Structure 1
Amino acid sequence: MDLAGQDEGRQPLEGRTLSVSATFEGSEKIAVARDMACEFLMSLQAEHGLSVSQRAMDTVQLVVSELVTNARKYAPGACQLTLEVRGGAVEVTVWDSDMTLPSIPAPDPARIGQHGLEIVKAVCRSFEAHREPGGKRIRAAVVLADGPGDDAAGHQVM
C-alpha cells in the first residue's frame, strides 16, 4: 500500500491533497481494501482533525467493497484503488483493465443480486465512469461529515 500525502503529526490540509492508493493483484481478500479505507479515514480524524461521520465511515467501506469486488469479478489482472480527500468528501476511485463501462440496471426489487452499483449511486454525492487507455476508471464521492439536514448520501434535504 502506497500512502501519498500523509504527514507526521496532526497537520491541517490547507491546500494539500491527502490520498492513499494500493494495487490489488487478485489474491487479496476484499476486506484488505475495506481495512485500508477505514485506516485512511481514521487517519484523517486523528492526524488532520477532519470530521468523519460514522455514516461516511460505513459508506466508504461499502463503496470500496462494491467497486473492488466488481473490478476483480469482471476485469482481468490487477486493479488499483485510490482514496483522496477533496471538497469535503473522499473520492473512491478504482481503475481496472476492462474498457467496458458498467451498466446499472433499472431498480427492480424482485431482481436477486446485481444491486451493487445501484446502491453505490444512491449513497454517494457523485458517481462517474470513464474509459481510459487500457481500461476504465470509476469514481464515487462520499461526503465526510453530516450536516443537520443531510440525507443518507450527504445531500441537503430541502
Structure 2
Amino acid sequence: MPTPTVPFALNRRGLFRLAGVAALSAATVSTVAACGQETISGPALDTLTAQLRAARADAADATAAATVITDYAAALGIVAAQRTEHAEALDTEIARATGASTETSSATATTTPAPTTPPPDLAAVREMLTSSARSAADAARNESGYRAGLLGSISASCTVSALVVLA
C-alpha cells in the first residue's frame, strides 16, 4: 500500500528559522571574506610602525617617571599599562597584515641598556601623550576599517590619559 506523501509545508516558524539560517550564513561568508589576508606596505606600514614605536616609548617613559613622581605613580602605572596594550594591539595588527611579527624588534629594544637621561617629569609625559594622541588621530584619518578604529581609540586613550588620568 503506497504511503501518502505530504507536500512540503512551510509554516511561519519554519520560515523564520530558514531566514535566520540564511542571514547567519550570509554573515559568516562575508566575515570570512573580509578577514582574508590583507597585506600592507609603504606608508600604511610606516604609520603603524611609528605608532608602535611611540606606544613603546610612552610606556617606558611613564614607567620611568613613576619611579620619580611618587604622587602620580599609580596613574603613571595605568598610562604605562595602557600604552603597552596599545603596542601589543599595533604589533598584532602589523603581524596580521604583513604575516611577520615585530616582536624581534621589541626583544632587542628591551635588552638594550637604559639611557642615562633622567626620567621625564609629569609635564613631559603629558606632552608625549598629547603628541601621540595627535599623531594617532592624524593617522586614523588616512586609514579605514579596523585600523582607523584602532588608531582612533589609541588617540582617545592618550587624550584621556593626558587630560584626565594625569590631571
Q: Larger Cα Rg: Structure 1 or Structure 2?
A: 2
For normalisation by structure 1, the TM-score amounts to 0.33
Instruction: Give the TM-score of the pair, scaled to structure 2.
Output: 0.31
Identify, as 1 or 2, the structure richer in strand. Answer: 1
